[in-house]
Amino acid sequence: MDCEEYGTGACKAPYVSWATKNCAKTCGFCDLNKQKAQCVYSDWMTVSECSVTCGRGYKTEVRSFAKVKDKTPGSKVCKENLERYTACDLQPYRQDPAMVSLFGHSVYHLGVLTVWFCLLAVSQAAYGE
């Protein structure tokens, strides 16, 4: 295992014994209290599509970090999250023209029908109809 590659993740089970001996010597990762160090974080990267096919859901974003000397420009304390969930809002992916003409206006403005069409579209996709 390379402590440069795994960072403080190497300081957890099952690697903690190895990392304490090796990473503390070479990188200082497992000895954060004794050594002054900070992290530089990458930009967030989306790694999943929206959790729903219509309506409001979430997507997962991740980022990485590099350990640097204390007070390096742009660095922060090494306790920032590496994963986050952000909201995504997908419109219903189908609008039935018969329902629009029947009611005389768009179903996008009729909350109950919008939810109904959303559920109908999801169930049809799930059962291949």
At 25-53, the pLDDT tens digits run 556 556 555 557 889 999 999 999 999 88
pLDDT digits (tens, 9 = 90+) for 85-123: 999 987 765 555 555 444 444 444 444 444 444 555 444
Please give the model's pTM, rounded to 2 decimal places: 0.46
DSSP 8-state secondary structure symbol assigned to residue 7? G
Q: Distance between CA 45 and CA 126 in Å, rounded?
A: 29
pLDDT recorded at residue 22? 62
Domain 36-90 in CATH 2.20.100.10: yes
Instruction: Answer whether 78's CB lies under 8 Å from 38's CB.
Output: yes
Q: Where are the domains of the chain?
A: 1-35, 36-90, 93-129
Q: Is 26 exposed, middle or buried (0-12, 13-18, 19+ CB in 10 A)?
A: exposed
